[in-house]
Structure 1
């Protein structure tokens, strides 16, 4: 079963958040109801999120592709069986390799149970994820969005979200993380839907810029 909210739930939520913020209203006008980024709950998803931290999408995709090619089936067990230096050779930094190993150990030991996370109330699910060394707030919130379909999960420090909101809101400067987090409070309990509107708009805007004749 897909973790994505139904299209009707998304539309209702889009109507709600668009009414609270002109920037979201503009995004909604451009893209309509966004496609939810749904993924199966797995170690591979957590690993991919770790690989995408603080580097460009294209670089992260290339690095994680090499990890997938090396491991074959990306599971916690296969990661623990691998030589950490071989994972580093795929392009992963030493801290990220340590995080991948720590998360794998937590899953194999039962400290982290993704079925339990997906079935738990949002705050409990968040606590279980954050208790694992290597899973920070950004990774936890994205997992809750993608694998659980939590409509109020929200990666507050996501640069793409902050940049999209700045441009849609015609602000002179991008909000700092603390200010953006406070601003996003008005979008509860649908902050994850707001995130999908902003990501969706950013994707369309980038595609326009990449098209022949684009800016």
Structure 2
């Protein structure tokens, strides 16, 4: 696990030290989850059920952020099609090419006006050197999150996914991700699904490995959905007698998907 010590300063002016941890390999993730389970026993039955999750990674830099922006508020298939056209249209695909590209050309590739504006704004900030995506990998996760969400068109979900999957920041916490919220609600026995604001204190015990915890909760959510699918199959109309209607609890299949509604 890549952990780099960097100086910080408290209000007293005295230097303190904190570590920026990265999940660069599957071994890094497994080591992080092992530490989480050891320090928070509530996570052990979750891991026992899911098994070790796989590390999820995306390309870093402008391309990685642009890829995530292309996927905002569209289906997985649509996002893949738009990204395939966009990445194939520019060689190399970098912020300079997008900054110079005509708006109408980007629109013909499938980008909405809002996404074009977002990508061009990011490209301009990079060109003017007011944004450095590499530096974000070494910053505190919350500070890096705030830097990204200050950009036009970059919401909390997009920022956290970029930090976690592209920059491999071990402490990035996708508080607005509905799948993680739902998994935590069920896994921790909460009465209601926590809001993004409520997710912050819930994740405090997992610092500085909240990103590794997110991998575990996503894995748990997929297990829940799979189980719900099996339950739905067993209680389908073809298998349930009309005289004895099913009284099962509301299906998880009706809950929102793994992305937050607001990007």
Give TM-score scaled by structure 1 length: 0.78
Displacement, 1:167? 4.1
Q: Who is 2:181 aligned against?
A: 162
Structure 2 unaligned segments of length 5 or more: list them. 3-21, 235-263
Structure 2 counterpart SS, 1:186: helix
Q: Quick one: structure 1 residues 73 and 165, their matched pair in 2 at CA, closer, same or farther if it must change by over 3 Å?
A: farther
1:149-191 deviation per Cα after TM superposition (whole angstroms, max 9, x unaligned): 2211112101221133334445564222222233222322211
How far apart in 1 are the matches of 2:75 and 2:210? Answer: 24
Cα distance in 1 between the residues matched to 2:80 and 2:187: 27
Flag the structure with larger Rg: 2
Q: State the match for 2:89 in structure 1.
A: 70
1:54 equivalent among 73, 97, 102: 73
Q: Calculate the aligned-residue CA RMSD, in Å.
A: 3.2
Distance in 2 (CA, whole Å) between partners of 1:45 and 1:214 is 38
Alignment of 1:1-215 (within 5 A): 4-7=23-26, 9-18=28-37, 20=40, 22=42, 24-122=43-141, 125-169=144-188, 171=190, 173-203=192-222
Instruction: Indicate the structure with greater strand content.
Output: 2
- Distance in 2 (CA, whole Å) between partners of 1:183 and 1:124 is 19
The runs of 5 or more residues in structure 1 that have no matched partner are none
Structure-2 separation of matches of 1:5 and 1:214: 39
Q: Which has the higher contact order (CA 8 A, sep 6+)?
A: 1
How many pairs does the alignment contain? 212
Distance 1:73 1:214 in 2: 47
Give me the whole-angstrom Cα distance separating, in 1, the residues matched to 2:147 and 2:187: 35
Check 1:167–1:90 CA distance in 2 against 1; reply closer, same or farther (3 A cut): farther
